[in-house]
């Protein structure tokens, strides 16, 4: 299928994780990478929409304090995570450091940026505490972010290993 995530066996992954999902080289030579930042286990749990919405606002604003490479931080429709799009090809450890620093900013935040009718299409649909709880839970699992696939996952292990690279 044309959409990368539609080719991912969602039964084989083990959230939370951070996975390189796509790399595109543009005609001018620039590179854009997309990371799957998965907060909850697909088809098992999800984030509530006010939490998703607030994480989107908070991460989009605060991540740009740590990197000029951030292009976008978009929620997944399934409400299990986000796509982080970056310009260039930063090292995986640098991406993890960016996420780590941004989540710490979210935990320390005193408000959700642009959570009002002037700057947001649904300004009332936010929860700072929900975003902070989700950020804290994700950050507490920092040691396993690179472990994308469950050890007993269905499917061919060699295909999973190749996709993880």
pTM of the model: 0.91
Asked if residue 38 has a cis previous peptide bond (ω within 30° of 0), the answer is no
Range from 32-41, 86-95, 100-109, 153-162 carrying the lowest mean pLDDT: 153-162
pLDDT band at 158 (very low <50, low <70, confident <90, very high): very low
> Does residue 38 carry a pLDDT above 80?
yes
Average pLDDT for 71-98: 98
Instruction: List the CATH code of the domain at 14-145.
Output: 3.30.1360.80
The residues near 45 (Cβ < 8 Å, ≥ 6 apart) are 80
Classify residue 104 as exposed, middle or buried by CB count within 10 Å of its CB (0-12, 13-18, 19+).
middle
Average pLDDT for 50-79: 98
d(CA 130, CA 136): 10
From the CB of residue 133, how many other CB atoms can be counted at a distance below 10 Å?
14
């Amino acid at each position: 299928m044309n959409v990368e995530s539609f080719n991912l066996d969602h039964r084989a992954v083990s959230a939370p994780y951070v996975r390189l999902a796509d790399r595109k080289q543009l005609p001018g030579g620039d590179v854009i990478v997309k990371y799957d930042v998965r907060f909850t286990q697909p088809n098992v749990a999800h984030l509530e929409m006010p939490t998703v919405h607030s994480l989107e606002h908070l991460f989009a604003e605060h991540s740009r304090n740590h990197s000029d490479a951030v292009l976008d931080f978009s929620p997944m429709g399934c409400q299990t995570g986000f796509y982080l799009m970056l310009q260039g090809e930063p090292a995986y450890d640098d991406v993890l450091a960016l996420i780590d620093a941004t989540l710490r900013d979210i935990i320390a935040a005193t408000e959700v940026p642009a959570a009002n009718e002037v700057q947001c299409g649904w300004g009332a649909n936010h929860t700072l505490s929900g975003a902070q709880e989700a950020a804290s839970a994700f950050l507490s699992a920092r040691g396993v972010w690179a472990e994308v696939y469950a050890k007993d996952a269905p499917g061919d292990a060699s295909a999973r290993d190749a996709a993880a690279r």
